[in-house]
């Protein structure tokens, strides 16, 4: 299978939107909007600017919900409710642009470590509420696996699928850069057919560097072959600049066929 990847950059959320035209010029099929900074979908005027770009290009769209300072698993009830509210607001606005929104799971704050079962239940209930909102707006909210920091939930494929399993409106985003930081790329490849959305970027297996493909330690030949054989959907390359996007695209074209 041959893919036409999308590009996403969390490093660009405060930049003027003109940079987005470079995504199509670089050869990408779509843009994953990181809905933060200048691209928060509920902020007045932002949707209009985004629509202008979309209407003047051939770019497809997916969305990554905001995640900074949010925690869907916190024991602090007002913060928990506000975290759900912000993600639901994003999904409501995103429904006119796409059918895929990636969301982050919560994490274990110091007090939470005393009540791990309660944390799990709070995360599940948050997903049930978000899933209901997603269904109402024609969106699949895809829960993403996390990086090596031990406080994060869903660093393991089994935990990710167990957390999201059975909840209407909730799907899965497999992030292979994140998986590499916990040494679990093979595990995620084994079940890649269960993914509803995929993110790729590179690192050296320790931290979430978001390097261009080929600049870290991920074996893209193996990853590309396995994904191409078992997955049919959007693949988003994440990076920091259009130049990095071009570098990644050349590696992608070689192995994801």
pLDDT tens-place string over residues 175-202? 999 999 999 999 999 999 999 999 999 9
Share the mean pLDDT of the chain: 96
Task: Give me the residue spans of the domains in the chain.
Answer: 6-255
Per the CB < 8 A criterion, the answer to whether 62 and 102 are in contact is yes
For tokens 């869907």, what's the residue?
72
Phi-psi region of 3 (alpha: psi -120 to 50; beta: other; left: phi over 0): beta
Give the per-residue pLDDT at 63.
98
Q: Look at the domain 6-255 and name its fold.
A: TIM Barrel (3.20.20)
Cα separation of 188 and 156, whole Å?
8
> Tens of pLDDT along 18-55?
999 999 999 999 999 999 999 999 999 999 999 999 99
Give the per-residue pLDDT at 2.
55
Report whether pLDDT(61) > 60: yes
Task: Calculate the alpha carbon distances from 37 to 66, 78, 219, 244 in Å.
Answer: 9, 23, 33, 21
Across 107-124, b (16+ Cβ under 10 Å) vs e yields: bbeeebeeeeeebbebbb
- In terms of DSSP H, where are the helices of 111-182? 116-136, 157-164, 176-181
Identify the band that residue 1 occupies on the pLDDT scale cut at 50, 70 and 90: very low
């Amino acid at each position: 299978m041959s893919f036409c990847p999308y590009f996403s950059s969390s490093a660009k959320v405060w930049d003027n939107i003109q940079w987005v035209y470079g995504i199509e010029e670089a050869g990408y099929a779509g843009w994953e909007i990181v809905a933060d900074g200048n691209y928060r979908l509920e902020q007045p005027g932002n949707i209009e600017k985004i629509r202008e770009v979309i209407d003047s290009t051939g770019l497809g769209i997916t969305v990554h919900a905001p995640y900074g300072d949010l925690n869907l698993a916190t024991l602090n009830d007002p913060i928990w409710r506000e975290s759900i509210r912000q993600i639901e607001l994003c999904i409501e606005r995103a429904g006119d642009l796409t059918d895929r929104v990636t969301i982050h799971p919560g994490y274990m704050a110091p007090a939470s470590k005393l009540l791990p079962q309660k944390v799990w239940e709070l995360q599940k209930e948050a997903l049930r509420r978000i899933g209901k909102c997603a269904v109402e707006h024609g969106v699949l909210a895809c829960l993403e696996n996390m990086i090596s920091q031990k406080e994060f939930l869903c660093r393991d494929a089994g935990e990710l699928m167990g957390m999201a399993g059975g909840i209407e409106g909730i799907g899965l985003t497999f992030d292979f850069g994140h998986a590499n930081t916990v040494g679990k790329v093979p595990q995620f490849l084994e079940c890649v057919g269960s993914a509803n959305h995929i993110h790729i970027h590179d690192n050296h297996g320790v931290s979430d560097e978001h390097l261009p493909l080929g600049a870290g330690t991920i074996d893209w030949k193996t990853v590309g072959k396995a994904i191409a054989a078992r997955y049919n959907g959007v693949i988003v390359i994440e990076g920091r600049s259009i130049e990095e996007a071009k570098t990644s695209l050349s590696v992608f074209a070689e192995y994801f066929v």
